[in-house]
Amino acid sequence: MNDALLAAPPRLGGVRVLAIDGPSGAGKSTLAAEVVAGLRARGHRTELVSTDAFATWDDPVAWWPRLVDGVLAPLASGVDGRYRRMDWSTGSPQPGELIQVAVPDVLVLEGVSSGRVSARPLLSHLCWLDGGPAAERLARAIARDGRAASADLARWQRFEAGWFAVDGTAEAAGTRLP
């Protein structure tokens, strides 16, 4: 996947963008951390932005303009980006820390809807991570986020199943992982 990404042209100004998308509990964050570490080890200035920093239970995908205005548009112009990360520490998301995003060689966008159709013209590569059956992914997400989040996670999974069916994310991916 990294070789395909690096062989592709930058499409966000001089920045190559890799989106790692797939359903909740699939392992996207783990994969993204591995990809970022590998790219940095090869000398590529790499930044990571997670859609979890923007989404809330009640706003799973409509926050996208904040990412475009705060990060993607500035990076496309060769200017550092910034965004306010959602703070989930209280269990109820609130605007939190201001995050600076330096202009990288590679931007890794990770999370549900990162490979959405409106972003695809900006992507150098799209990776879909399936993560297995919904029940297994739900169990992993509950283990990660806690039993108190189980109803929200189940509702989220129902939403994202419809989102991905309409968006066609998996079918558009250049790399598809189980």
CATH number for 62: 3.40.50.300
CB 16 within 8 A of CB 76: no
Per-residue pLDDT of the chain (178 residues; tens, 9 = 90+): 999 999 999 999 999 999 999 999 999 999 999 999 999 999 999 999 999 999 999 899 999 999 999 999 999 999 999 999 999 888 778 899 999 999 999 999 999 999 999 999 999 999 999 999 999 998 999 999 889 889 999 999 999 999 999 999 999 999 999 9
Domain enclosing residue 148, as ranges: 2-177
Count, residues in the chain? 178
Q: Is 49 helix (H, G, I), strand (E, B) or coil?
A: strand
Q: Is 79 exposed, middle or buried (0-12, 13-18, 19+ CB in 10 A)?
A: exposed
Say how many domains are in the chain.
1
Q: Which of 42, 90, 25 is nearest to 16 (CA)?
A: 42
Q: How many CB atoms are located within 10 Å of the residue 25 CB?
A: 23
CB 152 within 8 A of CB 138: no
pTM of the predicted protein model: 0.95
pLDDT tens for residues 75-122?
999 999 999 999 988 877 889 999 999 999 999 999 999 999 999 999
Contacts of 168 (CB under 8 A, 6+ apart): 117
